[in-house]
Amino acid sequence: MTFSLIKTLRGCSQLRLPVAIKASSAVISNCRVLHKSYSVTQIELPKKMATSKALPLPQIFKYVDQNAATYKQLLKEAVAIPSVSCDVKYRNDCVRMVHWMQEKLREVGASSELRDVGCQTIDGQEVKLPPVLVGTLGNDSAKNTICIYGHLDVQPALKSDGWDSDPFELVEKNGKLYGRGSTDDKGPVLGWLHAINAYKGIGEELPVNLKFVFECMEESGSEGLDALLIEKLKPEGFFNDVDYVCISDNYWLGTTKPCITYGLRGISYYFLEVECAQMDLHSGVYGGTVHEAMSDLIYLMDQLVDKDGKILITDIYKSVAPLTENEKKLYTTIDFDTEGYRQQIGAHKLAHNGNKEQILMHRWRYPSLSLHGIEGAAFQPGAKTVIPGKVIGKFSIRIVPDQQPEEVEKLVFDYVHKKWAERGSPNKMRITAQSGRAWTENPDHPHYQAAARATKLIYQTDPDMSREGGSIPVTITLQEASGRNVLLLPMGAGDDMAHSQNEKINVRNYIEGIKLFAAYMFEVGKLPK
Amino acid sequence: MTFSLIKTLRGCSQLRLPVAIKASSAVISNCRVLHKSYSVTQIELPKKMATSKALPLPQIFKYVDQNAATYKQLLKEAVAIPSVSCDVKYRNDCVRMVHWMQEKLREVGASSELRDVGCQTIDGQEVKLPPVLVGTLGNDSAKNTICIYGHLDVQPALKSDGWDSDPFELVEKNGKLYGRGSTDDKGPVLGWLHAINAYKGIGEELPVNLKFVFECMEESGSEGLDALLIEKLKPEGFFNDVDYVCISDNYWLGTTKPCITYGLRGISYYFLEVECAQMDLHSGVYGGTVHEAMSDLIYLMDQLVDKDGKILITDIYKSVAPLTENEKKLYTTIDFDTEGYRQQIGAHKLAHNGNKEQILMHRWRYPSLSLHGIEGAAFQPGAKTVIPGKVIGKFSIRIVPDQQPEEVEKLVFDYVHKKWAERGSPNKMRITAQSGRAWTENPDHPHYQAAARATKLIYQTDPDMSREGGSIPVTITLQEASGRNVLLLPMGAGDDMAHSQNEKINVRNYIEGIKLFAAYMFEVGKLPK
pLDDT per position as a tens digit, B316-358? 999 999 999 988 887 888 888 999 999 999 999 999 999 999 9
Residues in chain A closer than 8 A to B368 (CB atoms): 283, 287-289
The answer to whether the CB of B465 falls within 8 A of the CB of B296 is: no
Q: Which residues in B369-394 are b (16+ Cβ under 10 Å) and which e?
A: bbbbbbbbbbbbbbbbbbbbbbbbbb
Tell me: pLDDT of A84 over 70.
yes
Q: Chain A: residue nearest B356 by CA?
A: A289
The mean predicted confidence, pLDDT, of chain B is 88
C-alpha A500: how far from chain center: 14
User: Counting one residue from A and one from B, how many pairs have CB atoms under 8 Å apart?
Assistant: 371
Binary contact (A305, B295; C-beta < 8 A): yes
Considering only CA atoms, which of B269, B253, B260, B266 is closest in space to residue B366? B266
Chosen for mutation from B84, B120, B127, B372 (greatest number of chain A CBs closer than 10 Å) is B372
Q: Which residues in B349-362 are b (16+ Cβ under 10 Å) and which e?
A: ebbbeeebbbbbbb
> What is the biggest distance separating any 2 CA atoms in chain B, rounded to whole angstroms?
86
Chosen for mutation from A182, A358, A394, A503 (greatest number of chain B CBs closer than 10 Å) is A394
Q: Is A213 helix (H, G, I), strand (E, B) or coil?
A: strand
Q: Does residue B402 have an active-site annotation?
A: no
Tell me: pLDDT of B9 over 60.
no
B203: left (phi over 0), alpha (psi -120 to 50) or beta: left
Considering only CA atoms, which of A167, A270, A189, A192 is closest in space to residue A499? A167
Chosen for mutation from B500, B502, B503 (greatest number of chain A CBs closer than 10 Å) is B500
The answer to whether the CB of A447 falls within 8 A of the CB of A487 is: yes
In whole angstroms, give the CA distance from residue A514 to residue A391: 44
Tell me: pLDDT of B64 over 70.
yes
Peptide bond connecting A402 to the previous residue in cis, omega within 30 degrees of 0? yes
Considering only CA atoms, which of B9, B5, B118 is closest in space to residue B69? B5
Cα–Cα distance list, B380 to A122, A376, A393, B284 (Å) = 12, 8, 11, 19
Which pLDDT belongs to residue A422? 98
Residues in chain B closer than 8 A to A268 (CB atoms): none
The answer to whether the CB of B132 falls within 8 A of the CB of B225 is: yes
Looking at per-residue confidence, does B498 or B473 come out higher?
A: B498
Cα–Cα distance list, B132 to A304, B78, B98, B239, B240 (Å) = 48, 17, 7, 16, 19
- Per-residue pLDDT, averaged over A2-6, amounts to 26
Binary contact (A371, B295; C-beta < 8 A): yes
- Per-residue pLDDT, averaged over B220-237, amounts to 95
Note the pLDDT tens digit of each residue in A149-201: 999 999 999 998 889 999 999 999 999 999 999 999 999 999 999 999 999 99
pLDDT category of residue A450 using cuts at 50, 70 and 90: very high
Question: Among A33-42, A52-61, A297-306, B327-336, where is mean pLDDT lowest?
Answer: A33-42
Please write down the HEC assignment for all residues of B360-426.
Answer: HHHHHCCCEEEEEEEECCECCCCCCCEECCEEEEEEEEEECCCCCHHHHHHHHHHHHHHHHHHHCCC
Could you give the residue ranges of the DSSP H alpha helices within A161-250? 186-201, 225-227, 234-236
Residues in chain B closer than 8 A to A306 (CB atoms): 295
Residues in chain A closer than 8 A to B154 (CB atoms): none
Question: Among A426-430, B249-253, B292-296, where is mean pLDDT lowest?
Answer: B249-253
Question: Among A19-33, A275-289, A353-367, A434-448, where is mean pLDDT lowest?
Answer: A19-33
Residues in chain B closer than 8 A to A362 (CB atoms): 288-289
The strand pair at B485-488 and B244-247 is best described as: parallel
The mean predicted confidence, pLDDT, of chain A is 88
Which pLDDT belongs to residue A285? 85
Q: Is A305 helix (H, G, I), strand (E, B) or coil?
A: strand
Q: Residue B178: beta bridge partners?
A: B171, B504
Catalytic residue among B93, B107, B218, B496: B218
Which pLDDT belongs to residue B44? 35
Tell me: pLDDT of A37 over 50.
no
Note the pLDDT tens digit of each residue in B69-121: 999 999 999 999 999 999 999 999 999 999 999 999 999 999 999 999 999 98
Looking at per-residue confidence, does B345 or B19 come out higher?
A: B345
Tell me: pLDDT of A470 over 50.
yes
In whole angstroms, give the CA distance from residue A203 to residue B379: 50
In whole angstroms, give the CA distance from residue A192 to residue A34: 21
Determine what percent of chain B is predicted with pLDDT higher than 70.
Answer: 90
Q: Is A176 helix (H, G, I), strand (E, B) or coil?
A: strand
Binary contact (A348, B295; C-beta < 8 A): no
Residues in chain B closer than 8 A to A347 (CB atoms): 276-277, 290-291
Of B373, B375, B385, the CB nearest to A388: B373
B460: left (phi over 0), alpha (psi -120 to 50) or beta: left
Considering only CA atoms, which of B147, B157, B265 is closest in space to residue B212? B147
Looking at per-residue confidence, does A490 or B473 come out higher?
A: A490
Of B373, B385, B426, the CB nearest to A378: B373
Of A289, A351, A502, the CB nearest to B350: A289
Given CA atoms A53, A58, A62, A67 in this order, what sign does their dihedral have?
positive
Catalytic residue among B93, B107, B153, B512: B153
- Per-residue pLDDT, averaged over A368-382, amounts to 95
Determine what percent of chain B is predicted with pLDDT higher than 90.
Answer: 78
Binary contact (A288, B350; C-beta < 8 A): no
Binary contact (A347, B291; C-beta < 8 A): yes
Q: Chain B: residue nearest A425 by CA?
A: B307
Tell me: pLDDT of B486 over 90.
yes
Q: Is B282 helix (H, G, I), strand (E, B) or coil?
A: strand
Considering only CA atoms, which of B260, B251, B218 is closest in space to residue B472? B218
Q: Calculate helix-pair angle for A507-526, A446-459, nearest 10 degrees.
A: 140
ipTM of the shown complex: 0.74
